[in-house]
Amino acid sequence: MVPAPEECVHSSDDIVNEGRFASMDDPAYAPAVELVHVSKTKPVLLGDSVTQLQVIGDVSFSVPKGEILALVGPSGSGKSTLLRMMNRLEDPSSGQISLFGTDISSLDVRELRRRVGMVFQTPALIAGTVADNVSYGPRLRGEDCDPGECLDLVRLERDLLHRPATALSVGQQQRMCIARALANRPEVLLLDEPTSALDQTAANTVLDLVCRLNREMGLTVIMVTHLMEHARAVGTRVVLLVRGAKIEEGAANAFFASPATEIGRRFLQGELSNEC
């Protein structure tokens, strides 16, 4: 059992009570991210013929601003596919995804990816120094960026700025990738298994960081993980996905204390790992 990172002491209710997002009764309210009847099929080769396999089936949920959603489910349940659709690395076959009330298919893709940052399981490095990596987005747009400030946010020493990114440990590279996303001043951060390639100490550092960014910057986070102790450590909300279908959605505390469904209970017991 991984000890909960020290800084993760909030709950969904705390965030609502801090008034960090408009009341849901406000007519202007729109969740940070909303999925409505999203489905996705992918072509697979079966024998000699290509068949369309449904990997996401009619999934709807919303993520209020300021929440950390843990998107959990067995391997192959469609978590990465769902996350990738949120910044249009893939597009839904049907349904709609909105960012603060705007259909993301109507947004310029570069602007969408500035507003919705993404970090992958294996740190994705750009050839060059740490500074080159961190300032990548602003540089593409011809904007100024202080990479030192971005390293401060993820608690990496500024001494590292001029080192090749490949010289960092994997845990430092992962924090650098988060700094690169933050350089774009995103409104939502998508994390796909960000701790899976890390040892326990480095993983806890990343989990602490996620909580701190959420608490101090009000950043909305959607984190895919198959590690329940990591979901439990940071999540304020949970969506459970099994075989491409949403099985549960709700407050993290309630889900981990007492899942609403038999499938949820079996998942938490570790009984679903071979079913997808």
Ligand X SMILES: Nc1ncnc2c1ncn2[C@@H]1O[C@H](COP(=O)(O)OP(=O)(O)O)[C@@H](O)[C@H]1O
Return the beta strands (E) in the chain as ranges: 33-46, 49-63, 68-72, 94-99, 102-103, 116-119, 188-192, 220-224, 237-242, 245-251
Residue 147 contact partner, candidates Mg ion, ligand X, none, CB within 5 to 8 A by sort of partner: none
Residue 195 binding Mg ion, by CB under 5 A: no
Q: Nearest distance from residue 251's CB to ligand X, in Å?
A: 22
Residue 76 binding ligand X, by CB under 6 A: yes
Task: Name which position in 44, 124, 140, 167 contacts ligand X (CB under 6 A).
Answer: 44
Give buried/exposed letters for 211-232 (b at 16+ CB in 10 A, else e): bbbbbeeebbbbbbbebbbbbb
Residue 172 contact partner, candidates Mg ion, ligand X, none, CB within 5 to 8 A by sort of partner: none
Rounded CA separation 253/238 (Å): 9
Task: Name which position in 12, 62, 80, 205 contacts Mg ion (CB under 5 A).
Answer: 80
Q: Which of residues 117-156 bind ligand X (CB under 6 A)?
A: none
Rounded CA separation 253/223 (Å): 16
Residue 57 binding ligand X, by CB under 6 A: no
Rounded CA separation 78/85 (Å): 11
Residue 75 binding ligand X, by CB under 6 A: yes
Rounded CA separation 99/63 (Å): 10
Q: Nearest distance from residue 193's CB to ligand X, in Å?
A: 8
Q: Which stretch binds Mg ion (CB under 5 A): 31-39, 74-82, 112-120, 215-223?
A: 74-82
Residue 212 contact partner, candidates Mg ion, ligand X, none, CB within 5 to 8 A by sort of partner: none
Size of the site for ligand X (CB under 6 A): 11
Interface positions with Mg ion (CB under 5 A)? 80
